[in-house]
Amino acid sequence: MVHWLWLVPAFPFAGFLILALAGRRLSNKAVAYTGTLATGLSALLALLIAFGFFAAPPNDHTFQQALWGWLETGGFSPDISLYLDSLALIFVLVVTVVGFLIHLYSASFMKDEEGYARFFAYMNLFVGSMLLLVLSGNLLFLYLGWEAVGLCSYLLIGFWYRDKANGQAAQKAFIVTRVGDTMMAIGLFLLFHSLGTLNIQEVLARLPVEYASGSALPVAASIMLLGGAVGKSAQLPLQIWLPDAMAGPSPVSALIHAATMVTAGVYLVARTYAVFEMAPLVQALTAIIGASTLLLAGFSALTQRDIKKVLAYSTISQIGYMFLALGIGAWSGAVFHFMTHAFFKALLFLGAGVVIIQMHHEHDMLKMGGLRKSMPFTFYTFLAGAASLAALPLVTAGFYSKDIILWYAWSGTQSSPWLWTAGIAGSFLTALYTFRMVFLTFYGEGENQPGDRKEYSIQIPLAALAVLSIIAGVANLPENFGHKQWLSDFLHHNLPRIQATHTTSETLMQVISGTIVLAGILAAYRLYLKPSGWPDNFRQTKIYAFWSSGWAFDQVYHTLLVRPVIWLARINQRDVLDLINGMIARFHIRWHGMFIRTQTGKMRWYAMGIATGTILALAVLIFLT
């Protein structure tokens, strides 16, 4: 079955081609079937391949499928090849399964929107591009998928392009991530210049042999790759694009935040782990960036009124946990949290989409309230996702995936009390802003009481993701819970293990983290559900405005970068080179105008022109010979 691997990305690309070429001539029903079936077949095939991979794993738990030669120049001959190992397989499963559920949800959710076929075409292209990224056998092919994902995010964030703000949000995402993409391209040039290859496995094998740990090349290459990861995954200091990406439809937000785009940076660092292990300072920087981001984004989430922006800052924060895990060498912990996060964050965005539509496109949580009675199905599924995001102890998948990160942040070989403290503080913030969102949206008294959405294509994805948000934690139970770490054991065939070195009891650390989470939920209950003037007073403070603005990063960048560039462009708009180019353009316009005058439509003038040209051509030939 694994030999059919090429079909996994091929199905979504085929769906994209059909919808792009014939979508306008298809009915909405046919469009929905085509787009959803393409991702559904991809998910089904990925599951079948996974079963075969688990039952009879190939040699070294890797499978490579060369499809055809790509290019050959100067001894460089990368091919179009797919590479499947434990890391890629987990990402493929999450991307296809979650992507299919989001497509199924979209079939009803987007049915009244203009551009229905265009939406599904873009969504199929998005899924196919992400699969291309994670299955790439060489870094150049990976970069192709990387750029395609960026293009799709631009198209989908600006899907409602008639609204100028949506177009600006799409441009912002595209431009900001270009910074990281440029750094990543430089990193690839450095690796190719030094090693003569971009084959991922050759790079990982040769780098430790040819270079010493901490030497210039691994440090420079890892910094550049980290820059690419930071841009795509919206980590400090390039996190500013993600909150504005909420301009896209809710299914787009779910796909970007859960299964594609922002997790690409996590995959890149995990895939090139050997490069980062050769640069300990850069790996430590990865952990520091993750810890800082999860705290800053958590404070910003606490001040948002737009339900989707709360979830956007939450994504930035949770990706920060994954970067923290990558930075301390807990590779499997980062992938585990990626998996659980995909389930509960997709669920929360899809649930928020139902709420927004039923509230007549209202995003402000302060104008909601009391929806648990009128929307019970949405409420209970949303609550499952919220509990997992907050890492409610023992009963949610989010608890187990976050626990492994916090445990190794305290006890791993590259641990630090400061990193652990940041993670614990982030746990409190996460529980606080998550249940603030739940209480403001679904509790209290609201003016509007809409009914629940009854379409099966909406309820089935919500129910499936709610179940996964609760039970997925059993894939990696800690040592004091039976030590059934199936996911970590599977990933460790291709990723290094991390050892716990601290003597502190893991149970004690779990009690501390669980208590912190419960304290955050209780604080949210007392502040936002019980009568209290504190939230209103807090909203009037400068610190609230500062956090709400995303720590003023937009204003700083606008002052330091955007305004100077615009100023220079205005000064330089009449430079000498522009005058020369303008003169050339005007010359060609006038020259073209002379030929336009010959197009009179009178046949006798055309005949005379042909005859004159023939005589001149013959005369030239006679005189030259």
From 62, 267, 253, select the one nearest 146 (Cα to Cα).
267
Element housing 79 (H / E): strand 79-84
Does residue 461 have a cis bond before it (omega within 30 degrees)? no
Scanning 376-416, the segments in alpha helix (DSSP H) are 376-389, 397-411
Which tens digits make up the pLDDT trace of 430-454? 999 999 999 999 987 766 677 777 7
- What's 251-314 look like in SS3? HHHHHHHHHCHHHHHHHHHHHCHHHHHCCHHHHHHHHHHHHHHHHHHHHHHCCCCEHHHHHHHH
Which tens digits make up the pLDDT trace of 244-289? 988 888 999 999 888 778 999 999 999 999 999 999 999 999 999 9
pLDDT (mean) for 471-497: 87
Query: What pLDDT is attached to residue 2?
Result: 82
Token readout for 324 is 């923290």
Q: Long-range contacts for 44-47 (Cβ within 8 Å, ≥24 apart)?
A: 45/1, 45/4, 45/7, 45/8, 45/11, 46/8, 46/92, 46/93, 46/96, 46/97, 47/93, 47/97
pLDDT (mean) for 494-514: 84
Q: Residue 166 in contact with residue 120, Cβ under 8 Å?
A: no
Query: What pLDDT is attached to residue 96?
Result: 96
Average pLDDT over the chain reads 90
Query: What pLDDT is attached to residue 431?
Result: 96
Hey, which residues does 65 pair with through a beta bridge? 82
pLDDT (mean) for 11-15: 95
Query: What pLDDT is attached to residue 381?
Result: 95
* pLDDT: which is higher, 162 or 48: 48
Positive or negative, the Cα torsion across 575, 579, 581, 585? positive
Query: What pLDDT is attached to residue 448?
Result: 65
Which position has the token pair 């302060």? 366
* Domain-wise residue ranges, the chain: 1-278, 575-624
Where residue 503 falls among pLDDT bands split at 50, 70, 90? low
Which tens digits make up the pLDDT trace of 134-144? 999 899 999 99
Which tens digits make up the pLDDT trace of 45-87? 999 999 999 888 888 889 988 888 777 777 777 788 899 999 9
Share of the chain above pLDDT 70, in %: 98
Query: What pLDDT is attached to residue 83?
Result: 93
Other C-beta atoms within 10 Å of 384: how many?
27
pLDDT (mean) for 186-206: 92
State the Cα angle at 242 between 344 and 292, rounded to 5°: 80
Share of the chain above pLDDT 90, in %: 60
Which tens digits make up the pLDDT trace of 317-329? 999 999 999 999 9
Hey, which residues does 80 pair with through a beta bridge? 68
Q: What is the largest CA-CA distance in the chain?
A: 104
Least confident of 72-86, 157-171, 352-366, 402-416: 72-86
Where residue 576 falls among pLDDT bands split at 50, 70, 90? low
Where residue 625 falls among pLDDT bands split at 50, 70, 90? low
Query: What does the DSSP assignment read for 51-69?
Result: HHHHHS--GGG-EEEEEEE
